[in-house]
Amino acid sequence: MTFKKIDAPSIKELFLSQIEEMILSGELKPNDRLPSERELADTMGISKTIVHEGIRELARIGFLDVVSRKGVFVADYASTGNIDTLFAIIRYRGGMPNKKMLVDLLDVRIYLECPSIELLARRQDPENIKKLETLQENVRSCFDSDIKDFASALFLYRKTLTSLSGNCITPLIMNAFFTGSISAWADYCEFTGRENTYHILAQTTEFIKAGDAWGAIRLFQECITKYKNHLLRDMS
């Protein structure tokens, strides 16, 4: 019998979480001015050092603007945020982006993955094909696993596809999307079906093997479009 260690959040993490929640819930709105660090520390019963460090962290994430000699203001994070802002929003939603955000993320995936597919199909490298075939079989071996394990296997195939293209940035962005929203990948797998998901990957590999970039891209875009339409129907 094994018991896992319980890690309690630090005071700083609790401070960050409370301010993030107040911003994302709309209780604090863009351009609202926060009380001084001393006032926040006294009101929340924590040290001024923690407040100071927390404000700097929230500014880095994109939720706050620190204006010299004027104070700390809530930022318009929708226009000035970054990838960390996106992670925070997804965390706030329990690991699942809302449907509008998910539709937008799917559009980003098209921009990221289609050029990678084209490059791989053009090269027709036997070693790359072998890696993709191994990963697609790994997906099939997860048919009876938990849906998140199946989604993880699918993600590994898609991420490897982008990394094999030679672009070192795209896989990092893919990692960011997966880390923050595994529930979204699992939802896609449930919508598409495990067997169908596997067959799509097998077809993708065959298209790349044959040098048919357009066939692989068209298949990918069709799958994304079907899932997007499903989400859009739910939104209407």
Q: Give pLDDT tens digits for 95-128.
A: 566 778 888 888 988 998 999 999 999 988 999 9
State the total domains in the chain: 2
Q: Are residues 25 and 63 in the same domain?
A: yes
CA distance 75 to 95: 23
Residue 78 in this model has a pLDDT that exceeds 60: yes
CA distance 226 to 132: 24
- 1 belongs to a structural domain: no
Other residues' Cβ atoms within 10 Å of the Cβ of residue 185? 19
- 6 belongs to a structural domain: no
Q: How far apart are the first and last CA of the chain?
A: 49
- State CA 116 to chain mean position distance: 19
Residue ending a domain, among 54, 85, 116, is 85
Whole-structure pTM value: 0.73
User: What pLDDT sits at residue 88?
Assistant: 82
User: What pLDDT sits at residue 194?
Assistant: 94
What stretch of H or E contains 5?
none
Q: Are residues 80 and 132 in the same domain?
A: no
Contact by Cβ (8 Å): 82, 181: no
Can you give the residue range of the structural domain that contains 32? 11-85
What is the residue-averaged pLDDT of the chain? 89
Q: Give pLDDT tens digits for 136-166.
A: 999 999 999 999 999 999 999 999 999 998 8
Q: Are residues 130 and 179 in the same domain?
A: yes
- 152 belongs to a structural domain: yes
Q: Are residues 217 and 128 in the same domain?
A: yes
User: What pLDDT sits at residue 79?
Assistant: 84
Contact by Cβ (8 Å): 17, 26: no
Q: Are residues 54 and 123 in the same domain?
A: no
- 109 belongs to a structural domain: yes
Q: What is the CATH number of the domain that holds 167?
A: 1.20.120.530
Q: Are residues 157 and 181 in the same domain?
A: yes
Residue ending a domain, among 85, 116, 149, is 85
Q: Are residues 120 and 188 in the same domain?
A: yes
Res. 3 pLDDT band, cuts 50 70 90? low
Q: Are residues 103 and 78 in the same domain?
A: no
Residue 2 in this model has a pLDDT that exceeds 80: no
Q: Give pLDDT tens digits for 28-69.
A: 999 999 999 999 999 999 999 999 999 999 999 999 999 988
- State CA 142 to chain mean position distance: 22
- 90 belongs to a structural domain: no
- Helix runs in the chain, H state only: 11-24, 37-44, 48-61, 77-80, 83-92, 99-123, 126-140, 147-164, 170-180, 182-192, 194-209, 213-235
Q: Are residues 179 and 109 in the same domain?
A: yes
Residue ending a domain, among 23, 58, 85, is 85
Q: Are residues 164 and 51 in the same domain?
A: no
User: What pLDDT sits at residue 96?
Assistant: 63
